[in-house]
């Protein structure tokens, strides 16, 4: 009887298809396309403008939350053999896992992340060609077509890999490569002598770290797990261990490419200060750069470039939303959840980019700390047998300060209310609160307490077993 599971695993190894390097690249391309969307293009560019000559320490902080953390989220899916957000939160119980899944999908999905894919591509790429008086109707029409395309590309679950990894992504990379070649062949300025904004004079690393929140990639990495796992299985890989290895290796390839592009965009942003002032956001900066090099033709290329990259991310977001919700609420079909996600995203997109960013930042200040600790706990979970008690103390001592960070980050209607001011007063007493990292020390305390309880309980079990023997 003891040999049977081993024989079963051996047989699964024989029947599991081994992927070629080219197929690994296709999966990596899928991950790249899912991760690299609207924010990934505009936020590092804007960071370069803000940091100026201090672009390198700012880039270091940005790469931690923009590259390392999303890569760890992919590893978390691989190590725990999870299939989505729910499985990552499962050690804390079914209720927490379900609530966490809903919050993550709502944030990167219909409330903020998915609508942003349409509003960024419209605001930066299309709006310059539309009179201001007609931009409301133009956004309505553009977002309707945009989410109809996202629905069509993600309608068949098994075709997502082909649509994103093989079709949309190469087009985007080719156009982005063209932008880099032109910009670095004719630099607008010297990044080493670019002016530095006050916030980045002494806190470039920390501010770069927090700017990486806006990419939402750590949250997306958890949510995309189910989409990527489904795609890998569709390529003939069946055994959970083999699927995990494919996801992990492809994740390294994808995030390495993303990190390289981030560095180029940050340097490009710093170089742009040779001709332009710091822009309101990265979208405006990209618009200025393209017009400086290629005029109206460049603007048309930019519009197409942004629409393609945003569409790839939108496809992944709406599909992941529909797959996860159908899995946990199976009475509603995948296609119905898909349609609801696209419809809700369409409605939210028409509030405009500024409103979406203003209200998404507080949610990211709350969810990112929780996601970070859950990702790190998942990656290291074999060291403590994925004991829920360790998760409990870390998350418990993370959630309270993270809530405070969220409240003070809200627009004035919340942050300047009597409740908001009270929270801000209490929060000031927390270590690292001025950096927006008030959750770090409590999380470390929770980790120490959780590990002490875990090892104490394990020693008690060992003592009991010794006495029995």
For residue 444, what pLDDT band results from cuts at 50, 70 and 90? Answer: very high
Whether the Cβ atoms of residue 151 and residue 315 lie closer than 8 Å to each other: no
Q: What pLDDT does 158 receive?
A: 54
Q: Give the integer Cα–Cα distance in Å for 394 and 401.
A: 12
CA distance 48 to 56: 9
How many Å apart are CA 21 and CA 211, to the nearest integer?
Answer: 34
Percentages helix, strand, coil for the chain (3-state, rounded to 5) are: 85, 0, 15
Share of residues in the chain with pLDDT > 90 (%)? 29
pLDDT tens sequence across 4-56: 444 444 344 444 557 777 778 878 877 887 777 767 888 899 999 999 999 99
pLDDT score recorded for residue 341: 94
The predicted structure's pLDDT at residue 27? 82
CA distances to 1, 109, 178, 194, 266 from 262, rounded to whole Å, are 53, 23, 16, 18, 6
Q: What's the mean per-residue pLDDT of the chain?
A: 83
pLDDT at 95 over 80: yes
Q: Give the tens place of pLDDT for each residue, 138-188.
A: 999 999 999 999 998 888 755 544 555 456 667 777 877 888 898 899 899
Q: What is the pLDDT of residue 17?
A: 59
- pLDDT of 226 reads 66
Query: Mean pLDDT over residues 385-400, rounded?
Result: 92
CA distance 425 to 243: 48
Least confident of 8-17, 336-345, 384-393, 437-446: 8-17
Q: Which of 123-137, 162-176, 245-259, 396-410 is least confident?
A: 162-176
Go through the domains of the chain in sequence order and give each one's CATH number: 19-350 (1.20.1740.10), 356-468 (no CATH)
pLDDT tens for 235-293 read 777 777 777 788 788 888 888 989 999 999 999 999 999 999 988 777 778 878 888 88
Backbone phi and psi for residue 276, each to the nearest 5 degrees, phi listed first: -115, 160
What is residue 6's predicted lDDT score, i.e. its pLDDT?
A: 42
pLDDT of residue 248: 80
Q: Evaluate if residue 466 carries a pLDDT over 90.
A: no
Q: Which of 218, 203, 168 is nearest to 371 (CA)?
A: 218
**Spatial separation of the C-alpha atoms in residues 302 and 299, rounded to whole Å:** 5
Nearest to residue 6, comparing CAs of 14, 129, 309? 14
């Amino acid at each position: 009887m003891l040999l049977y599971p081993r024989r079963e695993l051996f047989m699964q190894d024989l029947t599991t298809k081994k992927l070629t390097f080219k197929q690994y690249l296709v999966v990596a391309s899928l991950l790249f396309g899912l991760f690299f969307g609207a924010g990934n293009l505009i936020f590092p560019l804007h960071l370069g403008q803000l940091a100026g000559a201090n672009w390198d320490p700012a880039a270091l902080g940005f790469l931690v939350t923009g590259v390392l953390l999303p890569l760890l989220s992919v590893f978390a899916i691989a190590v725990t053999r999870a299939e989505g957000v729910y499985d990552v939160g499962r050690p804390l119980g079914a209720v927490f896992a379900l609530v966490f899944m809903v919050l993550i999908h709502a944030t990167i999905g219909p409330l903020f992340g998915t609508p942003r894919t349409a509003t960024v591509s419209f605001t930066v790429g299309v709006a310059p060609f539309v009179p201001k008086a007609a931009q409301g109707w133009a956004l309505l029409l553009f977002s309707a077509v945009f989410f109809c395309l996202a629905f069509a590309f993600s309608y068949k679950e098994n075709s997502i890999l082909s649509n994103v990894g093989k079709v949309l992504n190469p087009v985007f990379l080719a156009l982005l490569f063209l932008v880099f070649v032109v910009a670095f062949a004719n630099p607008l300025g010297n990044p080493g002598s670019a002016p530095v904004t006050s916030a980045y004079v002494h806190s470039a690393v920390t501010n770069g770290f927090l700017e990486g929140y806006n990419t939402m990639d750590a949250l997306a990495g958890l949510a995309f797990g189910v989409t990527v796992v489904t795609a890998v299985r569709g390529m003939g890989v069946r055994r959970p261990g083999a699927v995990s290895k494919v996801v992990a290796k492809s994740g390294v390839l994808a995030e390495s490419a993303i990190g390289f592009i981030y560095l180029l965009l940050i340097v490009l942003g710093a170089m742009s200060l040779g001709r332009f002032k710091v822009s309101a956001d990265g979208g405006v900066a990209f618009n200025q750069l393209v017009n400086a090099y290629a005029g109206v033709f460049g603007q048309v290329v930019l519009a197409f470039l942004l629409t393609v990259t945003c569409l790839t991310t939108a496809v992944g977001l709406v599909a992941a939303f529909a797959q996860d919700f159908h899995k946990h609420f199976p009475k509603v079909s995948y296609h119905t959840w898909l349609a609801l996600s696209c419809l809700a995203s369409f409605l939210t997109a028409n509030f405009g980019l500024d409103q979406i960013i203003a209200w998404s930042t507080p949610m990211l200040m709350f969810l990112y700390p929780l996601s970070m600790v859950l990702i790190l706990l998942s990656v290291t979970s074999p060291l403590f047998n994925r004991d829920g008690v360790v998760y409990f103390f870390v998350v418990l001592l993370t959630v309270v300060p993270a809530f405070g960070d969220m409240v003070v980050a809200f627009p004035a209607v919340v942050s300047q209310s009597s409740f908001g001011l009270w929270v801000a007063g209490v929060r000031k007493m927390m270590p690292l609160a001025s950096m927006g990292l008030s959750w770090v020390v409590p999380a470390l305390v929770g980790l120490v307490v959780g590990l002490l309880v875990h090892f104490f309980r394990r020693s008690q079990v060992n003592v009991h077993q010794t006495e029995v023997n």
